[in-house]
Structure 1
Amino acid sequence: MDGFDFDFGSDFRIIKPPLYGDYDLTLYARLGLYCYNFQKGTNIKFKSWEKYNTMYTSYLDYYITLEAMDPTSKSAFSFQTLFRLTVRSGNKPVNDYWDRDKAMDPFYTGVMPQWLSDEALATDNKKYYVVQESELHENEWLHLFIEIAFYSKVKTNPELVEINEVVVETKEDYITEAREKLHAENAILYISYKYTGVSSSGLAGDHKAIIRKTMDGITEHMSLEVASEQRDCK
């Protein structure tokens, strides 16, 4: 496909792991697999990325070719995903190529929400779901989301992060069981977590992130917006 295997000029480059060990590419590749697994109901696992191409337009596009594995058959195969990086300026809404106003509930567009207050959670517990501790271990994609949030803030390998709590907010009316809110197509996740690395880095301590996951109804489309901050550092 265009973008994955062809060089279209000076705005395009092909990079392979032996020369560059970009950790962000691993996160982007894993996110592409998560989107595919979520929509297809599969459980394909990431092994390693093989190469990526980048194209600079009004966005930064990553065309990533990776090696994946089907845990059922133990077979490995190539998988390709396109990741588009958009940086928000201040608190302005993201201006991307989706027709978000027509395809999505306005609740999931516009500026990112503020951190969820205890009062809001207590007054409308039908709107929110506090993820159980067992679910934090069962859904490894939650750790991927928080790795992306942490990396986007400090550009540091986020291996030493532990999730403290996750609260899900969604307006998906088709969901009748509370715990299924965690698997809504469109949702806002309020995640508190801890970085357990060396204190001299200035990052050790508690952090929190707001992550908005949205889908516009087009197969293989998913948007992940992240707003994060640090608190109570030791």
Structure 2
Amino acid sequence: MWSTLAFRIKCDDAVDEDWDDTAVDDFFKGAMPKWLSDEELATDNKQYYVVKESELQENDLLHLFTEIAFYSERENVLTAPPPLKIEKVVVVTKEDTEEGHEMLKAHNAIFYVSYKYNGEYSEWARDHKAVIRKTMDGKPGHMYLEVVAAE
């Protein structure tokens, strides 16, 4: 689990160090969810959004989250950003959005990410899966990020 109380690009305001757990829906608490089954993905559910290829390229946070997932499985043996290729992302949220792509900006969301490592370490050159849960309590800069490998 990774948490920050100052997740922002630039701000001179003081950081509020008190996390408000009551502001996060119970759906996003507790044990990490398991990987979605093909049956779950096949259901017509507005809570699931399969991220389009063009959105994968444009969303820097998805790449950051995927790198964090990759590093969570390693013991800091890499000194440069790993060459990762995101294959597929499914986003699940309870936030009401007009368009599916808006789920990428949800304060509370679960990302199911499949990706490949394309680097020099052959033992890592395979398909990877991670479940990444992002929660925010509504206070500027507050965010929890939880990651679990789903292999």
Report the TM-score, using the length of structure 1 for normalisation. Answer: 0.55
The answer to whether 1:116 aligns with 2:36 is yes
- 2:98, 2:83 → 1: CA distance? 35
8 Å contact from structure 2 (residues 84, 116) kept in 1: yes
CA distance in 1 between counterparts of 2:132 and 2:53 reads 19
Tell me the SS of whatever aligns to 1:137: helix
Give the counterpart letter for 1:211 in structure 2: I
Aligned to 1:93: none
Corresponding residue for residue 172 of structure 1: 95
CA distance in 2: counterparts of 1:164 and 1:156, whole angstroms:
24
Task: Give identity over the alignment, percent.
Answer: 56
1:197 aligns with 2:124: no
Between the aligned partners of 1:216 and 1:141, the Cα distance in structure 2 is 18
The structure with the largest alpha-carbon Rg is 1
Cα distance between partner residues in 1 of 2:70 and 2:109: 19
Given that residues 131 and 147 in structure 2 are in contact (C-alpha distance below 8 angstroms), is that contact kept between their aligned partners in structure 1? Answer: yes
Please tell me whether the aligned partners of residues 132 and 145 of structure 2 are also in contact (alpha carbons under 8 angstroms): yes
Specify the alignment match of 1:21 in structure 2.
Answer: none
Aligned length in residues: 144
Confirm or deny that 1:107 pairs with 2:27.
yes
More contact order relative to length (CA 8 Å, sep ≥ 6): 2
Distance between the aligned counterparts of 2:143 and 2:105, measured in 1? Answer: 14
In structure 1, what is the Cα distance between the partners aligned to 2:115 and 2:54?
16
Q: 5 Å matches for 1:97-176?
A: 98-100=19-21, 102-154=22-74, 155-157=76-78, 158-173=81-96, 175-176=97-98
More strand by share: 1
Give the unaligned 5+ runs of structure 1: 1-27, 38-43, 45-77, 83-96
| TM-score (normalizing by structure 2) | 0.83
Partner residue in 2 for 1:36: 8
- SS of equivalent to 1:213: strand
Q: Counterparts of 1:122 and 1:187 in 2: how far apart (Å)?
A: 19
Gaps of 5+ in 2: none
1:186 to 73, 84, 108: 108
Distance in 1 separating the partners of 2:43 and 2:72 = 32
Aligned-pair CA distance for 1:229: 3.9
1:217 and 2:143 correspond:
no
Q: Which amino acid aligns with 2:28?
A: Y
**SS of structure 1 residue aligned to 2:40:** helix
Q: Distance in 1 between matches of 2:5 and 2:56?
A: 20
Letter paired with 1:164: E
1:208 aligned partner: 129
> 4+ residue stretches of structure 1 with deviation over 4 A?
none
Amino acid at match of 2:140: T
